[in-house]
């Protein structure tokens, strides 16, 4: 067992362990914080695998943006801060059986398939220079399509979460839209 | 480095995500479990990119794209969850049964979605 394998195994244990805590903890906010630990350990795993640019993007977007977004979601849905007993649904044991079966099949396939396969880790294969050249030479068209997708999801999220822009025919009869939710509740 | 290490970690992460999606009840926790599954797929993509020594770096570039798509997905998913919360005052996916066939929905829960459309 080489040093890289030991480090990766430790990071993998941290990642899987905190992922298990994410799906079993009884406090919503703790689930989001354990998600930070899991993603951070996975970013360390990317570093061991010499994919350094992907590791930093993982830290920036997952740990920095997505977890903060999830915390905002927890806050805005007025979730209880302390322990809540009803976070697990009734089909918990069936879910456990399905997950165990999935794990058994996937781990068996991976171990049998790649037991004797080694890969060499050379530094510099995933640097920002290499990946930037790859993105803007080879994958420029998917990159542009992805920016259109981001724009579409931005517009979609705004349209979904604003409540005062969907009733267009009534705008001219009712110019101020701020008071509408109150009237809605009373109607 | 053995190829078995990253792939086994990815397989375990994926099945933990499967458990979370099936067993959790709060919609935000389901979204978190989906993120775990996406991360498992990302780990596999990076691993096979490095194993094949891909000169076009297809795996790592696709990982970056997946991260961006996950961000867009979380943004839209949270917007939908907030809309559901605004209409129903809860995000409990076991109790969101308005689309089920066999049970007759109660009048209170059925009227609520179109109240916002027809109110003013």
CATH of the domain at A30: 1.20.120.1200
Residue A182 lies in a domain: no
Rounded Cα distance between A2 and B1, Å, is 7
Within a domain: A174: no
| pLDDT exceeds cutoff 50 at B116 | no
End-to-end Cα distance, chain B: 65
Distance CA A69, CA A35 (A): 12
Local confidence band at B99 (pLDDT 50, 70, 90 cut-offs): confident
A residues 82-121 closer than 8 Å to B (CB)? 86-92, 94-96, 98-100, 102-103, 106-107, 110-111, 114-115, 117-119, 121
Sorted by where each begins, the domain ranges of chain B are 4-118
Provide the domain limits for residue A110: 3-168
Residue A176 lies in a domain: no
Residue B110 clears pLDDT 70, i.e. is over it: no
Overall average pLDDT of the B87-100 stretch: 85
Structural domain total, chain A: 1
pLDDT at A165: 67
**Which residue of A40, A41, A49 is the best one to mutate when testing the B interface, meaning the one whose CB has the most B CBs within 10 A?**
A49
DSSP for residue A123: T
Closest C-alpha among A119, A138, A148 to residue A51: A119
Using an 8 Å CB-CB cutoff, list chain B residues near A114: 2-4, 7
Query: Does A74 sit within 8 Å of B7, measured CB to CB?
Result: no
Contact residues, B window 15-54, toward A, CB-based 8 Å cutoff: 15-20, 22-26, 28-29, 31-33, 35-36, 39, 42-43, 46-47, 49-51, 53
Bridge partners, residue B31, by sequence: none
Q: Check: CATH 1.20.1440.130 for B4-118? A: no
Which stretches of chain A score pLDDT less than 70? 165-187
Task: Give the tokens for residue B61.
Answer: 């570039």
The CA distance from B38 to the nearest CA of chain A, in Å, is 11
Q: Determine which helix (DSSP H) or strand (DSSP E) holds A100, and give its type and residue range.
A: helix A92-113
- Residue A180's contacts (CB-CB under 8 Å, 6 or more residues apart) are A163, A164, A167, A174, B119, B120
CB atoms within 10 A of CB B95: 12
Mean pLDDT estimate for chain B: 85
Residue A130, chain B, CB below 8 Å: the answer is yes
What is the model's pLDDT at position A82?
75
pLDDT of residue B105: 52
Could you read off the pLDDT of B20-57 as tens digits, one per residue?
999 998 899 999 999 999 999 999 999 999 999 888 89
Residue B101 has pLDDT above 90, yes or no: no
- The CA distance from B44 to B60, in Å, is 10
């Amino acid at each position: 067992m080489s040093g890289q394998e030991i480090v990766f195994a430790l990071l993998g244990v941290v990642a899987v362990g905190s992922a298990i805590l994410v799906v079993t903890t009884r406090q919503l906010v703790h689930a989001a914080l354990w998600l930070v630990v899991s993603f951070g350990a996975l970013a360390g795993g990317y570093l061991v695998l010499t994919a350094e640019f992907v590791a930093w993007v993982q830290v920036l977007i997952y740990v920095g943006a997505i977890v903060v977004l999830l915390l905002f979601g927890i806050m805005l849905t007025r979730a209880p801060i302390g322990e809540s007993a009803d976070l697990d649904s009734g089909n918990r044991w069936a879910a456990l059986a399905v997950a165990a079966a999935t794990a058994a099949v996937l781990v068996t396939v991976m171990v049998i398939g790649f037991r004797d396969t080694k890969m060499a880790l050379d530094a510099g294969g995933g640097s920002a220079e290499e990946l930037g050249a790859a993105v803007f030479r080879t994958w420029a068209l998917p990159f542009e399509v992805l920016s259109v997708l981001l724009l579409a999801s931005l517009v979609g999220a705004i349209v979904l979460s604003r409540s005062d822009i969907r009733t267009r025919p009534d705008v001219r009869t009712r110019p101020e839209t701020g008071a509408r939710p109150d009237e809605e509740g009373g109607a | 480095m053995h190829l078995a290490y990253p792939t086994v970690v990815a397989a375990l992460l994926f099945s933990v995500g499967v458990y979370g999606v099936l067993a959790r009840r709060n919609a935000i926790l389901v979204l978190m479990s989906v993120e775990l599954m996406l991360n498992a797929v990302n780990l596999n993509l990076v691993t096979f990119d490095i194993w094949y020594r891909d000169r076009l770096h297809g795996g790592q570039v696709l990982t970056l794209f997946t991260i961006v798509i996950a961000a867009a997905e979380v943004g839209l998913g949270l917007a939908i969850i907030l809309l559901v919360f605004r209409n129903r005052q809860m995000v409990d996916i076991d109790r969101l049964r308005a689309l089920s066939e066999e049970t007759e929905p109660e009048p209170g829960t059925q009227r609520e979605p179109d109240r916002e459309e027809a109110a003013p």
